[in-house]
Structures are given as structure tokens and as C-alpha cells.
Chain A
């Protein structure tokens, strides 16, 4: 079993749609959690940290369920510019484990 699992997609959604990505992790000792965004052939960029209380940044909402070892990302009112790969990242000590990423394509 992979340490961090994501649905690879692709998710093709129309502009304005709401889309949700899920991620599960296997190490219950994991300490911190993030979502990164990666455009084609570019470096990953931090989208947001994820906290147990849930957190929101504009159109983006992230949730963490430690009991189920599950992380989610919700994007509301999708824009064409949201098209990218979204990487779920789990951190324990020095190690950051990346999922394979979920590809999102927002269609006009």
C-alpha cells in the first residue's frame, strides 16, 4: 500500500463547478499536511496547509480527518487557471511524502 494515495483523475469539470479531491495516508504518526499545486513541467507550489479544524483560502477549503487518515481539498467556482495537478503531501519528521497527484482540467 502506498504511503499517500490519491485518485489520479483526470477530473474534467466545467468552469464554475465545484470539485473535491481526496487523499488517504497510512502513517498514523504523520504530523503535518499540505496541498501543493503543480503545473505541467513546473515545480510544485504550496497551495495551503491543512489543519484538523479545517481551513479556507478564498475558493479553496481543506479538511483533515486524523481518525480516518484522510485529507480533502474542495475547489469552488472553478476557473480555467485552476487546471493543474494537485499533490497531497504528508509530513512525518524530516520526510515529506507526496501522493502521485490528481489532475484537474477546467473546461470553458
Chain B
């Protein structure tokens, strides 16, 4: 069975542009979460989606948005990119959206903002 897949794997953008990152969860998983990881830090929670509804949001500006589709895949959008948005963006899927669920991560999208 395929794991969590993310695309693209690498992306280079310039300041002010916008970007869309994509994620397909493990088959049967209904929840998708997005994380940002900068070098030397642990992943930081951005969003969780379950059954197409936003279940939680971390401390990120409104430039960050996401959605989940009927097939449970998800997109993360970032507008008006800043240099500080350069990071590894990780998508994680889980069966449900409840405490104790194990997260399974995709290999991430490395975003560089120049």
C-alpha cells in the first residue's frame, strides 16, 4: 500500500509569490495535518483537517490556508511568500482525528523562498 505522498518534492519561489502544496493520505485515512519544519527545529503544527472540515489551526498567519477534498487529499496554500517561509512542509495522515491517533508522514516538500 502507498504511504502518504506529497508533491512537489522541491520548490523554489520568490518573495511575494504564492504556492500550493499537495498531499494524498494513506488509503482509508480520513484526517490530514500539515506541519512546517525549519532546520534545527521540530515540526510546527499548521492545520488539521478531518472529513473536509478544519479541526484545528496552529499559530500561523492568514497567509496560510488549506482544504481537504472528498477523496481526503489535501492542499496547503501560502500567499505572499516571505523568506521566513522557507522550510520543509510535512503532511501527516491518520485514520481518525482523535487523541492518540498515530501520525504517518509524507517525505515532505522542501520550499525555498528567494
Contact = CB atoms under 8 A, between A and B. Distances in A.
Interface stretch (B12-20, B77-85, B102-110): B102-110
B104 A31 contact: no
Contact of A43 (B55, B97, B102, B105): B105
Contacts of B108: 43
Interface stretch (A64-72, A74-82, A94-102): A94-102
A89 to B, nearest CB: 8
Contact of B105 (A44, A94, A95, A99): A44
Contacts of B90: 43-44
Nearest to B90: A43
A42 interface: yes
B100 A44 contact: no
A21 to B, nearest CB: 13
A49 interface: yes
A45 B45 contact: no
A108 interface: no
Contacts of A31: 99-100
A93 B58 CA distance: 12
B55 A94 contact: yes
Contacts of A34: 102-103
B42 A98 contact: yes
A98 B55 contact: no
A44 B108 CA distance: 10
B105 A92 contact: no
23 contacts: A32-B99, A32-B100, A34-B102, A34-B103, A42-B107, A43-B108, A44-B43, A44-B90, A46-B103, A49-B100, A87-B43, A91-B99, A91-B100, A94-B48, A94-B55, A94-B97, A95-B45, A95-B56, A96-B33, A96-B45, A98-B43, A98-B44, A100-B42
